[in-house]
């Protein structure tokens, strides 16, 4: 700006007064940008203008009232209500939105080309001529002269010219207002298992995504895969949502996202000194937040029951087993909170397969499960009491299979007893269905009786043959 040289002169003049107590020394510091030929107006003090940023109290700022004095770091600024044109008129809504977006996106730039482009666009929007006379160098002072944007653009270096076009197009495409939405997965979440959550940043005008937006997020009842509970990710160059891998650690995982979006109207800083530039910088943006939460459960578990013969350890297929909760009467609970019941509405009854096992998957965890025998398999009924049927219980843990084993004691073997009819033993008249236990001593006596009977038969036969 032409009037920045007045502030510079004050620096030179003030340097001679450094030894005088109480004298404030003006400090005007140029930031990033370019010196160009000066646009003329009445009283223009030097032969060039500064198109770029200034450093004011450690901040990079841009001026918005062309030709006034450059910002002095020793001068206090206060926030104004609204950025107006140099002539005190409201900015069009789209222009205000463009400025807010560019300040948010580029006010921390380290590029002289981008800084100069931002300064050029700001002056072009806030100090545009309302009539051709306002750029006439013979008719205007620093208070009334407008910014001749085409004239200044021609005098910028080619990279800065390209940056002007790029920043303008960026603002037109991505200016606010924005909308932020966080989304948890629709499918049920499992504690300890990562899933993809997302945060989208879109433009309200058309719903398309905004590229390159840093999104900070915090997690409750959840962590990232590395165990941390917060982080920052940036939307892609095409504006796709940010995807976050979230690992639930409790029953109510929640994600809260926060980001800076362009203010509806940019904030202007007003100096306490007349005729000094008003300035804009970052900090006037609007904070957007979005949150989402869902429920999570422990990983489901399973129960596998094995039925075997207590003596041979062979598998017992076809055994009917009832699956219940810990009280042995209510139904077990599945992962989706539904009761594990059969068609009759009672706790489900299952049968062991050919290998003697049956498995119950997808159970809520942790949960105590009991398995009760409904009826004994054939050959094992002697030891079955329907009033106190065999059962076994255990606790199903998240993501694990609980192995339960049950044995059936076989019936006692039946020793058949026959009564011979005829010498050759033909004509069995009865078969005992009960087990007869015989002591060894009795077996000796039984043998003697058998032998004696055989001898008597032989003696009678001998008597008949001899005619005695």
Give the model confidence (pLDDT) of 303-323 as tens digits: 999 999 999 999 999 999 999
Tell me, yes or no, whether 257 lies in a domain: yes
Q: How far apart are CA 235 and CA 40, in angstroms?
A: 45
Indicate if 194 and 77 belong to the same structural domain: no
Tell me, yes or no, whether 128 lies in a domain: yes
Angle between helices 112-126 and 93-106 (to 10 degrees): 160
The domain boundary, picked from 174, 195, 220, lies at 174
Indicate if 138 and 200 belong to the same structural domain: no
Say what the pLDDT of residue 207 is.
96
Tell me the pLDDT of the chain averaged across its residues: 85
Tell me, yes or no, whether 378 lies in a domain: yes
Give the model confidence (pLDDT) of 264-304 as tens digits: 888 899 998 888 999 999 866 889 999 999 999 999 999 99
CATH number of 190's domain: 2.60.40
Say what the pLDDT of residue 464 is.
36
Indicate if 129 and 190 belong to the same structural domain: no
Give the model confidence (pLDDT) of 238-274 as tens digits: 999 999 999 999 999 999 999 999 988 888 999 988 8
Helix ranges, 107-231 (H): 112-126, 149-154, 158-174
Say what the pLDDT of residue 284 is.
65
Is 422 a residue whose pLDDT tops 80?
no
Tell me, yes or no, whether 376 lies in a domain: yes
For residues 72 and 27, the answer to whether their CB atoms sit within 8 Å is: yes
Give the model confidence (pLDDT) of 152-179 as tens digits: 999 999 999 999 999 999 999 999 999 9
Indicate if 124 and 62 belong to the same structural domain: yes
Q: Which residues lie closer than 8 Å to 257 by C-beta, 6 or more apart?
A: 180, 182, 199, 215, 216, 217, 242, 289, 290, 291
Indicate if 33 and 90 belong to the same structural domain: yes
Q: Which of 377, 386, 448 is nearest to 410 (CA)?
A: 377
Q: How far apart are CA 378 and CA 397, in angstroms?
A: 34
Say what the pLDDT of residue 419 is.
53
Indicate if 209 and 307 belong to the same structural domain: no
- DSSP-derived letter for residue 187 is S
Q: How long a stretch of residues is the chain?
A: 468
Domain count, the chain: 4
The arithmetic mean of pLDDT across residues 338-352, rounded, is: 97
Say what the pLDDT of residue 27 is.
84
Tell me, yes or no, whether 452 lies in a domain: yes
Q: How many CA atoms lie within 13 A of 181 on its CB side?
A: 12
For residues 330 and 324, the answer to whether their CB atoms sit within 8 Å is: yes
Q: Which of 25-39, 122-136, 182-196 has the lowest mean pLDDT?
A: 25-39
Indicate if 21 and 103 belong to the same structural domain: yes
Say what the pLDDT of residue 414 is.
72
Q: How far apart are CA 251 and CA 191, in angstroms?
A: 7
Say what the pLDDT of residue 3 is.
32
Task: Using a pLDDT cut of 90, give the percent of the chain over it.
Answer: 75
Is 150 a residue whose pLDDT tops 80?
yes
Q: Which of 160-169, 389-398, 430-439 has the lowest mean pLDDT?
A: 430-439
Indicate if 84 and 162 belong to the same structural domain: yes
Tell me, yes or no, whether 285 lies in a domain: no
Q: Which residues lie closer than 8 Å to 276 by C-beta, 6 or more apart?
A: 68, 69, 70, 71, 72, 75
| pTM score | 0.71
Indicate if 79 and 137 belong to the same structural domain: yes
Q: How far apart are CA 94 and CA 405, in angstroms?
A: 75
Give the model confidence (pLDDT) of 19-76 as tens digits: 333 333 458 999 999 999 999 999 988 788 999 999 999 999 999 999 999 999 889 9
Tell me, yes or no, whether 183 lies in a domain: yes
Indicate if 356 and 427 belong to the same structural domain: no
Tell me, yes or no, whether 403 lies in a domain: yes
> What's the domain range around 98?
4-174
For residues 411 and 381, the answer to whether their CB atoms sit within 8 Å is: yes
């Amino acid at each position: 700006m032409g009037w920045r040289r007045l502030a510079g002169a004050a620096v030179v003049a003030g340097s001679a007064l450094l030894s005088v107590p109480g004298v404030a020394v003006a400090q005007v510091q140029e930031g990033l940008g370019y010196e160009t030929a000066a646009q003329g107006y009445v009283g223009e003090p030097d032969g060039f203008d500064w198109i770029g940023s200034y450093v004011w109290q450690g901040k990079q700022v841009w001026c918005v009232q062309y030709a006034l004095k450059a910002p002095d770091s020793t001068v206090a600024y206060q926030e104004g209500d609204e950025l107006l044109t140099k002539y005190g008129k409201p900015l069009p809504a789209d222009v205000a939105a463009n400025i807010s977006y560019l300040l948010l996106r580029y006010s921390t730039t380290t590029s002289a080309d981008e800084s100069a482009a931002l300064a050029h666009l700001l002056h072009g929007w806030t100090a545009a001529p309302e009539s051709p006379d306002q750029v006439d160098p013979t008719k205007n002072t620093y208070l009334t002269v407008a910014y001749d944007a085409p004239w200044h653009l021609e005098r910028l270096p080619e990279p800065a010219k390209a940056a002007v076009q790029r920043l303008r197009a960026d603002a037109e495409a991505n200016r606010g207002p924005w909308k932020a939405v966080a989304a948890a997965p629709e499918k049920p979440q499992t504690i300890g298992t990562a899933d993809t959550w997302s945060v989208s940043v879109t433009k309200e005008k058309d719903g398309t995504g905004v590229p390159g937006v840093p999104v900070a997020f915090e997690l409750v009842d959840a962590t990232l895969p590395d165990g941390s509970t917060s982080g920052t990710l940036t939307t892609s160059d095409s504006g796709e949502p940010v995807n976050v891998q979230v690992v639930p650690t409790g029953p109510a995982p929640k994600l809260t996202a926060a980001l800076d979006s362009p203010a509806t109207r940019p904030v202007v800083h007003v100096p306490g000194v007349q005729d000094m530039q008003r300035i804009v910088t970052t900090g006037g943006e609007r904070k957007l937040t979005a949150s989402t939460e869902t429920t999570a459960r422990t990983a489901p578990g399973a129960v596998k029951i094995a039925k075997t013969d207590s003596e041979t350890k062979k598998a017992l297929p076809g055994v009917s087993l009832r699956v219940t909760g810990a009280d042995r009467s209510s139904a077990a609970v599945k992962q989706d909170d539904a009761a594990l019941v059969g068609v009759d509405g009672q706790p489900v009854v299952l049968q062991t397969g050919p290998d003697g096992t049956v498995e119950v998957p997808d159970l809520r965890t942790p949960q105590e499960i009991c398995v009760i025998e409904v009826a004994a398999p054939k050959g094992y009924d002697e030891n079955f009491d329907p009033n106190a049927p065999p059962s076994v219980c255990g606790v199903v843990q998240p993501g694990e299979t609980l192995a339960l084993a049950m044995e059936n004691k076989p019936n006692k073997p039946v020793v058949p007893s026959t009564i011979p009819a005829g010498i050759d033993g033909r004509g069995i008249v009865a078969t005992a269905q009960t087990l007869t236990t015989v002591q060894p001593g009795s077996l000796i006596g039984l043998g003697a009786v058998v032998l004696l009977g055989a001898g008597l038969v032989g003696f009678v036969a001998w008597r008949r043959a001899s005619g005695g």
